[in-house]
Amino acid sequence: MHTVARVEPPDEAHSFLAADLTATVRVTRVPAGRRDRLRAYSILLDSQAVANIRPGETVALPVTQGRHSVQMAMDWGRSRPLVVDLAPGETIDLRCAPNTEQPLWIGITFARGDYVRLWRVEGPEEDRLH
């Protein structure tokens, strides 16, 4: 089941997003394998947790134009930060999935920053599991 959530613009307590929301970062979590299938990942935008995402879900985040850092997190595991630069009105598509290319024990000990994969989708060919 594929669900889409739209995160509402934040209240004044979250002023880092409150001004001039003119672009969108859309994140889809690819339902890949068994690892983390029961766990939600946090979406970090400019180092702030702004939403959670489960396998098969898509979350649309309204953001200001300009440069932003996006990262996925789950407890101690993280993705590498991905820096995106958005023009006014632009929507970018990102995908995330567990990094099954490394053994679990490597991901929870030495490579915590690579536990989750996060990539930008540039075209239809890149929509597959990267």
The pLDDT confidence band at residue 36, using thresholds 50, 70 and 90, is: confident
Q: Which CATH superfamily is 3-127 part of? A: Immunoglobulins (2.60.40.10)
The values of phi and psi at residue 112, to 5°, are -60, -30
Nearest to 121 by CA among 82, 88, 68: 82
Inter-residue contact 45 to 69 (CB < 8 Å): yes
Two tokens, residue 76:
């101690």
Interatomic CA distance for residues 21 and 29, integer angstroms: 23
In the chain, domain spans: 3-127
Nearest to 57 by CA among 77, 68, 43: 43
Rounded mean pLDDT, 105-119: 64
The pLDDT confidence band at residue 125, using thresholds 50, 70 and 90, is: low
Two tokens, residue 46:
């400019």
Rounded mean pLDDT, 10-14: 48
Mean pLDDT score across all residues of the chain: 79
- Cα end-to-end distance, the chain, whole Å: 20
Summarised one tens digit per residue, pLDDT across range 62-85 is 999 999 999 999 887 889 999 999
Nearest to 86 by CA among 3, 11, 20: 20
Rounded mean pLDDT, 87-101: 89
Residue 65: predicted pLDDT:
94
The pLDDT confidence band at residue 15, using thresholds 50, 70 and 90, is: very low
Q: Is the pLDDT of residue 12 over 60?
A: no
Rounded mean pLDDT, 99-112: 53
Interatomic CA distance for residues 40 and 15, integer angstroms: 25
Of the chain, the percentage scoring pLDDT greater than 90 comes to: 49
Residue that has been written with the tokens 């180092």 in this structure: 47
Q: Is the pLDDT of residue 107 over 50?
A: no
Give this prediction's pTM.
0.74
